[in-house]
Amino acid sequence: MNETAMNGTSDREAICPCAPVAAREESRPSWHEECGIFGIWSRTVPVTDACYLGLFALQHRGQESAGIAVTDGIHVDIEKGMGLMTEAFKPRLPGIRGHCAIGHVRYSTVGGSVFANVQPFLAAFSGGFISLAHNGSLTNAQKVRRRLESEGCVFQSTSDSEAILNLIAISSAPTVEDKILSSLEQIEGAYSLIIMTGEGLIGVRDPHAFRPLCLGRLEDGYVLASETCALDAVNATFVRDVLPGEMVVVDQNGVHSRFLQKKAKLSSCVFEYIYFARPDSVIDGTSVWQARYLMGRRLAREYPVSADVVVPVPDTGIAAAIGFSAESGVPWVEGLIKNRYVGRTFILPDQTKRRATVEMKLNPVRANLEGKRVVMIDDSIVRGTTSARLVALLRRAGATEVHMCVSSPPITHPCYYGIDTSIRKELIAAVSTEREIGLKIGTDGLHYLSLQGLLESVGDAKGERMCTSCFHGIYPTDVSECLVEAPEAEGGGEVPKGQVSPAPLSFKSEA
Ligand code: AMP
């Protein structure tokens, strides 16, 4: 195997993977992996270039690091680096001409910029080599990792995704496909995976299908991607979404599927529609843009406020603002302009820096605001930092009233499946009433979309297909491992076996 060293030359933070588990958990950047993944198998398409383009379309899913692994069936070449795609691959892209490539863009929570965690992971084992890219968060990762370590497995990263790789490598199942399936039976939580072996390309979605994954056709081959916008970027034709618990295998014989034995129950993440996915993507049959537009229409029906203009918080608030405007008849205007060269505010390590960046990133258009009663539309309020700054900004620019409509319900509980919605005590809606939040952020009126309104907007009126746990704390899987034994004083406590988190006040793996 001609493998480029996994420890490349990019910047690294010194977090030692061989530190004791407890120490590592404290310094651990995160179990959260909010990522974009892409894979291609083709004998006619230049797969490295296609993988680069596909990942580029998924850059919104991760700006911290990127990596691409390519194989011709015998050799593997891998390049990884920190930062945006343009920075991560500055020295070079993988050089070999292969027929299969996979890639990953990563977005972790605060402090997670550790080179060792950059994916795809690559390992040699008795059955050849395996390279893996993961989107999602595992909820039993610590238990699995401890067991693997006690059995002698070594880890190079602090990422839970590496546990999957180790499980596959030590599996005694007869074929690679069997090894993958038997490994995943031991894993709980959210995972959309793209795996590359000497034989082919494999895509898997966990039995709840928390994170998206779709299959496309390109010339003689196939493409797997987190979102359909990446299929569009390489001119692939959408075939279908990977099903809950399905493993799709692409090789020289075409495509076939196998399924995990665990019971499949679709609970795909509603936050993909609210905030995370690109509006030009379609996930599990629902257009993200259309869903956001309908959220806006619904908001206008739920909160029929008198106003002069509707102002979106760009970019994720735009479709909802257009919907609000269409339903209410109030014109929408660009009241805030985004500086596209400033990174995401959300992941900055402290509140002061976050506040400064909100203002660097968004600037008001005085001509559209002066003397106007404004309804500002944003997709969510997490800690409340952004909203408070924006309300103040709009007032300084001359708005006479500022109402805020949020196209999601109050976020009261953390997500354990890969969306960074903070630790519970930092969630403003976990510690304040709606009225108090309105006062804290300084609005003349605040309205959150109802849960039913949200579900209807994403085409799931009965609430049967979506995970909405961040709005109520009822989780579709057992999340007890994700919680620290929270001190009574903080109102924490054990999660009743299975599903409900009463007050997970501290989430130890969050940064
Ligand atoms: P906050 O300032 O903490 O209330 O965060 C709310 C802002 O962050 C909103 O403008 C959202 O668009 C954005 N946001 C919401 N969820 C996330 C997330 N998981 N990662 C990054 N940004 C987010």
Query: Ligand 1: distance of its center to the CA of 276 in Å?
Result: 10
Question: Which has more pLDDT, 405 or 480?
Answer: 405
Do both 305 and 214 map to the same domain?
no
Mean pLDDT of the chain: 86
The helix/strand/coil state of 41 is strand
Cα R_g (the chain), whole angstroms: 23
Number of alpha carbons in the 13 Å side-chain half-sphere of residue 409: 18
From 16, 35, 405, 467, active-site residue: 35
Q: pLDDT category, 285, cuts 50, 70, 90?
A: very high
Residue 12 lies in a domain: no
Query: Ligand 1: distance of its center to the CA of 165 in Å?
Result: 31
Binding-site residues, ligand 1, Cβ < 6 A? 275, 313, 316, 344, 346, 378-387, 419-421
Do both 101 and 181 map to the same domain?
yes
Distance of alpha carbon 77 from alpha carbon 3, whole angstroms: 5
Give yes or no: 35 in active site: yes
DSSP calls for 119-147 = SSEEEEETTEEEEEEEES-BSSHHHHHHH
Mean pLDDT of 42-54: 97
Of 501, 482, 491, 494, the residue nearest 140 (C-alpha): 482
pLDDT at res. 156? 85
Q: From start to end of 299-368, where are the E strands?
A: 309-312, 336-338, 362-364
How big, in percent rounded to 5, are the helix, strand and coil portions of the chain? 30, 25, 45
Residue 74 lies in a domain: yes
pLDDT at res. 337? 97
Distance of alpha carbon 218 from alpha carbon 510, whole angstroms: 39
Query: In total, how many domains does the chain have?
Result: 2
Report percent pLDDT > 90 for the chain: 71
Distance of alpha carbon 271 from alpha carbon 135, whole angstroms: 14
- pLDDT for 353-390, tens place per residue? 556 677 788 999 999 999 999 999 999 999 998 999 99
Of 300, 296, 330, the residue nearest 313 (C-alpha): 296
- pLDDT for 417-430, tens place per residue? 988 766 788 899 99
Residue closest by Cα to atom 22 of ligand 1: 346
Mean pLDDT of 76-87: 93
Residue 485 lies in a domain: yes
Residue 297 lies in a domain: yes
Q: Has residue 447 got a pLDDT over 80?
A: yes
Do both 316 and 237 map to the same domain?
no
Query: Ligand 1: distance of its center to the CA of 441 in Å?
Result: 15
Residue closest by Cα to atom 18 of ligand 1: 420
Burial class (CB in 10 A: 0-12, 13-18, 19+), 10: middle
Do both 320 and 198 map to the same domain?
no
Whether a cis peptide bond, with omega within 30° of 0, leads into 315 is yes
Among 218-222, 299-303, 496-500, name the one with the lowest average pLDDT: 496-500
Query: Ligand 1: distance of its center to the CA of 229 in Å?
Result: 22
CB atoms within 10 A of CB 349: 11
Do both 262 and 293 map to the same domain?
no
Do both 194 and 318 map to the same domain?
no
Q: pLDDT category, 501, cuts 50, 70, 90?
A: very low
Query: Ligand 1: distance of its center to the CA of 275 in Å?
Result: 8
Do both 327 and 471 map to the same domain?
yes
Mean pLDDT of 401-408: 98
Residue closest by Cα to atom 23 of ligand 1: 346
Residue closest by Cα to atom 11 of ligand 1: 380
Query: Ligand 1: distance of its center to the CA of 217 in Å?
Result: 34
Do both 197 and 91 map to the same domain?
yes
Mean pLDDT of 399-412: 98
Residue 7 lies in a domain: no
Do both 167 and 221 map to the same domain?
yes
Return the CATH number at 333: 3.40.50.2020
pLDDT at res. 108? 65
Is there a contact between 58 and 36 (Cβ–Cβ < 8 Å)?
Answer: yes
Q: Has residue 210 got a pLDDT over 60?
A: yes
- pLDDT for 318-359, tens place per residue? 999 999 999 999 999 999 999 888 765 444 545 565 566 777
Mean pLDDT of 196-224: 97
Query: Ligand 1: distance of its center to the CA of 156 in Å?
Result: 31
Do both 138 and 216 map to the same domain?
yes
- Pure H helices in 70-119: 85-88
Q: pLDDT category, 509, cuts 50, 70, 90?
A: very low
Residue 378 lies in a domain: yes
Pocket test for ligand 1, best of 382, 383, 408, 424 (most atoms within 8 A of CB): 382
Pocket test for ligand 1, best of 35, 380, 423 (most atoms within 8 A of CB): 380
Mean pLDDT of 307-321: 97
The helix/strand/coil state of 216 is strand
Distance of alpha carbon 448 from alpha carbon 300, whole angstroms: 11
Residue closest by Cα to atom 19 of ligand 1: 420
Q: Has residue 7 got a pLDDT over 80?
A: no
Query: Ligand 1: distance of its center to the CA of 380 in Å?
Result: 6
Task: Decide the pairing of beta strands 373-378 and 401-406.
Answer: parallel
Q: What is the DSSP letter of 449?
A: P
CB atoms within 10 A of CB 314: 17
Residue 254 lies in a domain: yes
Do both 132 and 258 map to the same domain?
yes
Range of the domain at 220: 30-266
Residue 474 lies in a domain: yes
Return the CATH number at 130: 3.60.20.10
pLDDT at res. 103? 98
Do both 335 and 244 map to the same domain?
no
> Quick one: angle between helices 176-184 and 161-170, nearest 10?
130
Residues pairing with 363 in the sheet: 337
